Amino acid sequence: MVVPRLRTGIIEYGMTTKVQTSAQAAEKSNSMQALVVLVAGWLVPGVGHFLLKKWIRGSLLLVSIASMFAIGLALKGKIYSPNTGDLLDILNFAGDLGNGLFYLIAKALDLGQGSVQIAVADYGTKFIVVAGLLNVISAVDAHSLATGRKRS
Protein backbone atom coordinates (compact mmCIF):
# COMPACT_ATOMS: atom_id res chain seq x y z
CA MET A 1 0.00 0.00 0.00
CA VAL A 2 1.37 3.41 -1.03
CA VAL A 3 0.87 6.13 1.52
CA PRO A 4 1.03 9.66 0.15
CA ARG A 5 3.43 12.02 1.88
CA LEU A 6 2.89 15.77 1.84
CA ARG A 7 6.04 17.84 1.62
CA THR A 8 5.73 21.62 1.04
CA GLY A 9 3.16 21.51 -1.71
CA ILE A 10 4.53 18.35 -3.37
CA ILE A 11 2.54 15.14 -3.10
CA GLU A 12 4.59 12.00 -3.59
CA TYR A 13 3.06 8.65 -4.52
CA GLY A 14 5.81 6.07 -4.44
CA MET A 15 8.11 6.91 -7.37
CA THR A 16 5.92 9.54 -9.07
CA THR A 17 5.80 13.11 -7.92
CA LYS A 18 2.82 15.31 -8.68
CA VAL A 19 3.49 19.02 -8.35
CA GLN A 20 0.64 21.49 -8.24
CA THR A 21 1.80 24.69 -6.69
CA SER A 22 0.21 28.05 -6.42
CA ALA A 23 3.26 29.47 -8.21
CA GLN A 24 2.31 27.60 -11.39
CA ALA A 25 -1.26 28.83 -11.19
CA ALA A 26 -0.01 32.38 -10.62
CA GLU A 27 2.39 32.08 -13.56
CA LYS A 28 -0.45 30.94 -15.82
CA SER A 29 -2.65 33.86 -14.76
CA ASN A 30 0.30 36.27 -15.18
CA SER A 31 0.87 35.07 -18.73
CA MET A 32 -2.84 35.50 -19.47
CA GLN A 33 -2.74 39.00 -17.97
CA ALA A 34 0.31 39.83 -20.07
CA LEU A 35 -1.49 38.67 -23.21
CA VAL A 36 -4.53 40.79 -22.34
CA VAL A 37 -2.24 43.79 -21.76
CA LEU A 38 -0.57 43.22 -25.13
CA VAL A 39 -3.81 42.94 -27.11
CA ALA A 40 -5.50 45.82 -25.28
CA GLY A 41 -2.43 48.00 -25.80
CA TRP A 42 -2.50 47.23 -29.52
CA LEU A 43 -6.24 47.84 -29.93
CA VAL A 44 -6.27 51.21 -28.15
CA PRO A 45 -2.98 53.07 -27.64
CA GLY A 46 -1.99 53.39 -23.99
CA VAL A 47 -4.62 51.01 -22.58
CA GLY A 48 -2.01 48.34 -21.86
CA HIS A 49 -0.20 50.82 -19.64
CA PHE A 50 -3.49 51.93 -18.07
CA LEU A 51 -4.16 48.29 -17.09
CA LEU A 52 -0.77 48.26 -15.38
CA LYS A 53 -1.62 51.52 -13.58
CA LYS A 54 1.03 53.47 -15.50
CA TRP A 55 -1.27 56.46 -15.94
CA ILE A 56 1.21 59.07 -17.15
CA ARG A 57 2.94 56.79 -19.66
CA GLY A 58 -0.40 55.52 -20.97
CA SER A 59 -1.76 59.05 -21.31
CA LEU A 60 1.32 60.26 -23.17
CA LEU A 61 1.14 57.33 -25.56
CA LEU A 62 -2.59 57.75 -26.18
CA VAL A 63 -2.26 61.47 -26.86
CA SER A 64 0.82 61.17 -29.07
CA ILE A 65 -0.39 58.22 -31.17
CA ALA A 66 -3.91 59.60 -31.57
CA SER A 67 -2.47 63.01 -32.52
CA MET A 68 -0.12 61.51 -35.09
CA PHE A 69 -2.96 59.48 -36.60
CA ALA A 70 -5.29 62.51 -36.70
CA ILE A 71 -2.59 64.75 -38.21
CA GLY A 72 -1.93 62.08 -40.84
CA LEU A 73 -5.60 62.01 -41.77
CA ALA A 74 -5.80 65.82 -41.76
CA LEU A 75 -2.88 65.94 -44.20
CA LYS A 76 -4.85 63.62 -46.52
CA GLY A 77 -2.61 60.65 -45.83
CA LYS A 78 -3.36 57.29 -47.40
CA ILE A 79 -4.49 54.29 -45.38
CA TYR A 80 -3.23 51.09 -46.98
CA SER A 81 -5.23 47.95 -47.74
CA PRO A 82 -3.91 44.38 -47.63
CA ASN A 83 -4.81 43.54 -51.22
CA THR A 84 -1.86 45.00 -53.11
CA GLY A 85 1.15 42.99 -54.17
CA ASP A 86 3.78 45.72 -53.89
CA LEU A 87 6.28 45.11 -51.08
CA LEU A 88 6.25 48.72 -49.86
CA ASP A 89 2.45 48.73 -49.78
CA ILE A 90 2.50 45.53 -47.70
CA LEU A 91 4.98 47.07 -45.23
CA ASN A 92 2.93 50.27 -45.02
CA PHE A 93 -0.20 48.18 -44.43
CA ALA A 94 1.57 46.41 -41.55
CA GLY A 95 2.44 49.81 -40.08
CA ASP A 96 -1.12 51.04 -40.51
CA LEU A 97 -2.53 47.88 -38.93
CA GLY A 98 -0.46 48.68 -35.86
CA ASN A 99 -2.92 51.48 -35.11
CA GLY A 100 -5.46 48.90 -33.92
CA LEU A 101 -8.98 50.28 -33.61
CA PHE A 102 -7.95 53.60 -35.17
CA TYR A 103 -7.18 51.72 -38.38
CA LEU A 104 -10.41 49.70 -38.27
CA ILE A 105 -12.53 52.80 -37.64
CA ALA A 106 -10.79 54.72 -40.43
CA LYS A 107 -11.38 51.84 -42.85
CA ALA A 108 -15.03 51.58 -41.79
CA LEU A 109 -15.54 55.32 -42.33
CA ASP A 110 -13.64 55.15 -45.63
CA LEU A 111 -11.05 57.72 -44.53
CA GLY A 112 -7.67 58.09 -46.17
CA GLN A 113 -8.65 56.18 -49.30
CA GLY A 114 -7.67 58.69 -51.94
CA SER A 115 -4.45 58.47 -53.86
CA VAL A 116 -1.68 60.84 -52.84
CA GLN A 117 -2.11 63.91 -55.06
CA ILE A 118 -0.45 66.68 -53.05
CA ALA A 119 2.99 66.80 -51.48
CA VAL A 120 1.83 67.02 -47.87
CA ALA A 121 -0.32 63.90 -48.31
CA ASP A 122 2.85 61.83 -48.43
CA TYR A 123 3.82 63.26 -45.05
CA GLY A 124 0.35 62.41 -43.78
CA THR A 125 0.78 58.83 -44.94
CA LYS A 126 4.06 58.58 -43.04
CA PHE A 127 2.44 60.04 -39.91
CA ILE A 128 -0.20 57.29 -40.00
CA VAL A 129 2.36 54.51 -40.54
CA VAL A 130 4.69 55.79 -37.81
CA ALA A 131 1.76 56.11 -35.39
CA GLY A 132 1.03 52.42 -35.97
CA LEU A 133 4.64 51.41 -35.45
CA LEU A 134 4.83 53.45 -32.26
CA ASN A 135 1.65 51.76 -31.04
CA VAL A 136 3.16 48.32 -31.63
CA ILE A 137 6.27 49.33 -29.68
CA SER A 138 4.14 50.66 -26.82
CA ALA A 139 2.05 47.46 -26.70
CA VAL A 140 5.21 45.35 -26.53
CA ASP A 141 6.53 47.67 -23.81
CA ALA A 142 3.36 47.10 -21.77
CA HIS A 143 3.71 43.35 -22.30
CA SER A 144 7.32 43.46 -21.08
CA LEU A 145 6.22 45.35 -17.98
CA ALA A 146 3.44 42.82 -17.33
CA THR A 147 5.76 39.83 -17.62
CA GLY A 148 8.44 41.42 -15.45
CA ARG A 149 11.11 41.44 -18.18
CA LYS A 150 11.28 45.19 -17.79
CA ARG A 151 11.05 47.29 -14.69
CA SER A 152 9.26 50.61 -14.93
In a domain, 139, yes or no: yes
Q: Count of domains in the chain?
A: 1
**Which residues touch 10 (CB under 8 Å, ≥6 apart)?**
17, 18, 19, 21
In a domain, 106, yes or no: yes
Convert the pLDDT of each residue in 1-44 to its tens digit: 555 555 555 555 555 554 556 555 556 667 888 899 999 999 99
pTM for this predicted structure: 0.76
In a domain, 31, yes or no: yes
Convert the pLDDT of each residue in 73-108 to its tens digit: 988 888 888 877 788 888 888 888 999 999 899 988
For 82, counting Cβ atoms within 10 Å of its Cβ (0-12 exposed, 13-18 middle, 19+ buried), the class is: exposed
In a domain, 152, yes or no: no
In a domain, 103, yes or no: yes
In a domain, 69, yes or no: yes
Domain carrying residue 22: 5-147
Specify the pLDDT at position 112: 76
Residue 132, amino acid = G
DSSP string covering 78-107, please?
----TT---HHHHHHHHHHHTTTHHHHHHH
Answer whether 2's CB lies under 8 Å from 11's CB.
Answer: no
- Per-residue pLDDT, averaged over 42-69, amounts to 94
